[in-house]
Chain A
């Protein structure tokens, strides 16, 4: 049976080699061209930008686009977004770990319906546009818009359900005998969480943390609506505002766009596997 399979594969390679190679190239161009072309654009002067045929590398790189974007306060937005996202990651883990632990290891009234609510909130917070308007008028009423904590609070609530799900899934795999042995040694439930569970769920925390970081860094709708003070405005609405401000000046626009993805790309290069595992764990189980 092995041999049939190898023969099949060899036939497949011979017949479809070129086709598959072409498709592979097409996929690469389609998915990376915007980033690469955007980077080139951001380094071109106005004159080079309008040259036809467009130059790939035959131009003098300039930082003037970045300079212009920075002069418009973009570095501040980057810093704010970094702070917001970092706070969100910390809060998501701080609130998510105890909740996941409780859902897996404790029996308490309302456990099933409450966990059902968590599961339902995963897709619900994915589609936040419908929730946004009620959320906005509610926060407006309570005076919670336009505060330094407004966006971290919203991001935390959006990212939390998926984090609880991912972390609980991992805690399930830790044998309860470990807990029981610790109890026999006189450990309380908080000690069990700290000394036994926590060291064993670090990969899940990584996956949940990366997802929370990417999610809050990329969030646009709530970020636009919930704060209007420029000193509270994170990076996505800042980039969107540049569209109105720079119009068709693609140089500074792509400089802003590129700087807006660089942190995500860094996280992706360092922790890409965690993103993939977070996505997988967060969506389908088993």
Chain B
């Protein structure tokens, strides 16, 4: 009914925006990272020099390690808790179920800067709500942000709290698509709740579960805001994860060479996750 190029005309505007902001910077950035960077501009070609220098940085391995711990624990907790809540909400009458949904999504729709700031004020600050309650019971103040382990714990707590609503909504949509008679048939055959969960619900939730694992991993690896607002990477470098390390290299130390190289290494990791995402999402044209 139309010539083959008409469709292309319709997508050109959208792809121009995507190419300018998302695609071309990657290629430019890679070219840039192969040069010695002086005062923010590329001078002579040094091949992978920026990368070898970066990987020989003694602090780098620890930063990767912290990122792995932060991401793995945050994702595992978010998935486990949201799955538990989802299974519970799924059994509630629709009205109450959607109230829970709406409440849990509030931290997610709040910007990370504001959410982290308010979380810090209410649950951590020495004159905030939580510490005041502790003090009313005569308990000593907790200096949670000055201890390396509890600082990381809090960073993880903020991450889980912030992203729980997202995971819950995706899992609920997945649960809704499981026909009810599956469960009924299974319980007729004498399956207990644990068997029903393990043998019926879990396999049928595989796709949404994997999708949220990927999306949560991506967003945890890339989060700059919550460490920036909550801990600033400290105490010492206890919560210095990759995203904030890249951010600091570029905009605090003005070392664009190493920042770009590290960002592209992160980007490579992102691409692997994205490929998994693309495989899972049932896209077709």
Residues in chain A within 8 A of chain B (CB atoms): 1, 4-5, 8-9, 12, 20, 23-24, 27-28, 30-35, 37-38, 41, 49-50, 52-54, 91, 94-96, 98-99, 101-112, 114-141, 153-154, 156-158, 160-161, 164, 183, 189, 214, 217-221, 225, 236, 239-240, 243, 250, 253-254, 257, 260-261, 264, 268, 272, 275-276, 279-280, 283-286
Q: Are B22 and A280 in contact (CB under 8 A)?
A: no
Cβ of A17 to closest chain B Cβ, rounded Å? 13
Contact digits for B8-29, partner A, Cβ 8 Å, 1 yes 0 no: 1111011101101111111011
Cβ of A169 to closest chain B Cβ, rounded Å? 10
Q: Are A135 and B173 in contact (CB under 8 A)?
A: no
- Give the interface SS of chain B, mostly helix, strand, loop or mixed: helix
CA distance A96 to B264 in the complex (A): 28
B53 at the interface (CB under 8 A from A): no
User: Which of A119, A272, A283 meets B278, CB within 8 Å?
Assistant: A119
Q: Are A157 and B121 in contact (CB under 8 A)?
A: no
Give 26 pairs: A residue, B residue, CB < 8 Å, sorted on A.
Answer: A4-B188, A33-B129, A34-B118, A35-B106, A37-B122, A54-B129, A95-B13, A95-B14, A103-B7, A112-B285, A117-B23, A124-B22, A131-B267, A134-B30, A137-B260, A138-B28, A157-B21, A158-B22, A189-B6, A220-B112, A220-B113, A221-B225, A236-B114, A250-B127, A280-B169, A285-B283
Q: Are B246 and A133 in contact (CB under 8 A)?
A: yes
User: Which of B2, B24, B109 meets A268, CB within 8 Å?
Assistant: B109
User: Which of A50, A160, A225 meets B14, CB within 8 Å?
Assistant: A160
CA distance A31 to B109 in the complex (A): 11
Q: Are A134 and B118 in contact (CB under 8 A)?
A: no
Cβ of B75 to closest chain A Cβ, rounded Å? 13
Q: Contacting chain A: which of B43-51, B55-63, B147-155, B210-218?
A: B210-218
Closest 4 CB pairs of A and B: A134-B29, A106-B7, A157-B21, A108-B7
Cβ of A110 to closest chain B Cβ, rounded Å? 8
Chain A residue with Cβ nearest B183: A5
User: Which of A9, A125, A134, A260 meets B267, CB within 8 Å?
Assistant: A134
Q: Are B267 and A276 in contact (CB under 8 A)?
A: no
Residues in chain B within 8 A of chain A (CB atoms): 1-2, 4-11, 13-15, 17-18, 20-26, 28-30, 32, 40, 85, 88, 91, 100-107, 109-115, 117-119, 121-123, 125, 127-129, 132, 135-136, 161, 165-166, 169-170, 173-174, 177, 184, 187-188, 207-208, 211-212, 214-215, 218-219, 221-225, 228-229, 243, 246-247, 250-251, 256, 259-260, 263-264, 266-267, 269-271, 273-275, 277-278, 281-283, 285
Chain A residue with Cβ nearest B243: A129
Chain A residue with Cβ nearest B283: A119
Residues in B whose Cβ lies below 8 Å from that of A214 = 109
Given contacts A37-B122, A111-B7, A134-B264, contact A220 B20 (CB under 8 A): no
Residues in A whose Cβ lies below 8 Å from that of B219 = 126-127
Chain A residue with Cβ nearest B88: A20
Q: Are A261 and B110 in contact (CB under 8 A)?
A: yes
